[in-house]
Amino acid sequence: MKPWQQILLAMVLALVAGSCLNAYATDGVTGELMPWATRLVAVFDFVGTLFMQLLKMVIVPLVFSSIITGIAGLGKVEGFARLGGKTLLYYAATSLIAILIGLCLVNMLQPGLVDGEPNAAIKEQIENNEETYAGNVVKKVEGDSGKGGAIWGIFLRMVPENIFQAFGSNGQMLALIFVAILTAIGLIKISDEGRKAVLGFMSGVNELSMLIIQWVMMLAPIGVFALVAETASATGIEIIKVLGKYFFVVLAALLTHLFVSMPILLAVVGKVNPLRHYKAMLNPLMTAFSTASSSATLPVTMRALREKAGVSNRVSGTVLPLGATVNMDGTALYECVAVMFVAQVLGLELGFLEQFSVVTLALLTSIGVAGVPSASLVAIVIIINNVGIANSEAVIGLLLAVDRPLDMTRTAVNVFSDSCGAIIVAKSEGEDVLQA
């Protein structure tokens, strides 16, 4: 079997195993998993976490060396400015398209209303929610992502107090990217001798990181099985019944972006065959789906783009790390739909201006959201406070119930959009990509 087939099989088996645990290994009275099933889930958790850590451990050397060899390979600062400009334009445009798809669907299908009235059952759930649990989750994500959504905080997080801190900040790639770009631009300017020494070392580090990720990916079927089985065992069908319409609106919007707007962009702007790109991206898509972390998936995306799609190190090294941090189409779309849904449930009529501010905030906060699981919840707190909803923890408690499957899907969308950006930028730079 090919690697992607193994991962797909692991995912399907895990869905079946996890759902069986959820359905048949729960105590009829308490509704909790039986002790033996709890132990089994703890094993899944252990294996899944180990796999995520194996993926993440390569991020720092890979991102740093990729950016440096990528930008220095451009030879001139103007080359970097051109590439950076195209990349940011692509990122802003696709995030906006994604948000607008979400906004249209949530306004058309109104998941928070029943017969034109706010859904009383969901509203009651928000009012009765246990607030501390949701609060803890938000704090944890904030801890992981360094205040994920705070807009001005982005700049503070970008500049480390000490250059070496940029290498140790888990999950926070902005500082690493900033230091790497600065170093790379500096390298273009220094003496040939100095440049050669640093570049030689960095291209060795880059090669080595790619090799390690290749080894890690041999364990992907096991890691993916553990991650997906754990999630499936914890996500019952019950909650989807209550929040079903919301769940499907988010899903439909994400899939529309993934399978309609993205291929159109690839075909029209990139002038490439979208099917070839989906094929090249099978591994990253499945890794993103099972880990729900675009940062952890970055090494896999980088490898697939270089080896399967034929994108140069120059472009992939510059476009992808930036994308994994600032370009989150799925997240931006999700934030917008979630906030509109909560407003509908609470009977808040949002006019054009309010909706416009939701769109703008979704766009801006998605830039600051870190590529870790559930990170968008922090940004959602910021937006709902902004539109005047006070009990944000209770709201997050409600959204959390169905967050994981949606997180998996939006992370896949985030990663796919980054990869399309790399293809489109590579084509615009005259590269022959996706030849097979």
Residue from 125, 261, 293, 318 binding ligand ASP (CB under 6 A):
293
Nearer to ligand ASP, 66 or 295 (CB): 295
Buried b or exposed e, range 1-24, using 16+ CB within 10 angstroms:
eeebebbbebbeebeebbbebbee
Rounded to an integer, what distance in angstroms lies between the CA atom of residue 296 and that of residue 53? 8
- Residue 369 sits in the site that holds ligand ASP (CB under 6 A): yes
Q: How many residues bind ligand ASP (CB under 6 A)?
A: 16
Using CB under 6 A, which residues numbered 402 to 421 contact ligand ASP?
A: 407, 410-411, 414
171: contact with ligand ASP by CB under 6 A: no
Stretch in the footprint of ligand ASP (CB under 6 A) among 60-68, 90-98, 305-313, 366-374: 366-374
Which two three-digit tokens encode residue 165?
A: 């801190």
Q: Which is nearer to ligand ASP, 292 or 434 (CB)?
A: 292
Query: Residue 22 has which token pair?
Result: 């959820």
Which tokens in the block code for residue 247? Answer: 């769940």
Shortest approach of ligand ASP to residue 226 CB, angstroms? 18
In angstroms, the Cα distances linking 429 to 311, 324, 350, 423 are 11, 21, 43, 10
Please state the φ and ψ torsions of residue 269, each to the nearest 5 degrees. Answer: -85, -45
**Nearest-angstrom CA–CA distance, 147 and 368:** 8
Least distance from C-beta 233 to ligand ASP, angstroms?
A: 20
Helix axes 329-345, 392-400, angle to 10 degrees: 120
Q: Among residues 119 and 235, whose Cβ is nearest to ligand ASP?
A: 235
Q: Is 312 in the site for ligand ASP (CB under 6 A)?
A: no
Interaction between residue 328 and ligand ASP (CB under 6 A): yes
Helix (H, G, I), strand (E, B) or coil at 79: helix
* Distance of closest approach, residue 239 Cβ to ligand ASP, in angstroms: 18
**Which residue lies nearer to ligand ASP by CB, 373 or 397?**
373
Question: Which one of 376, 409, 417, 419 is in contact with ligand ASP (CB under 6 A)?
Answer: 376
Tokens of 114: 């029943």
Binding site for ligand ASP (CB under 6 A): 292-294, 328, 331, 369, 371-376, 407, 410-411, 414
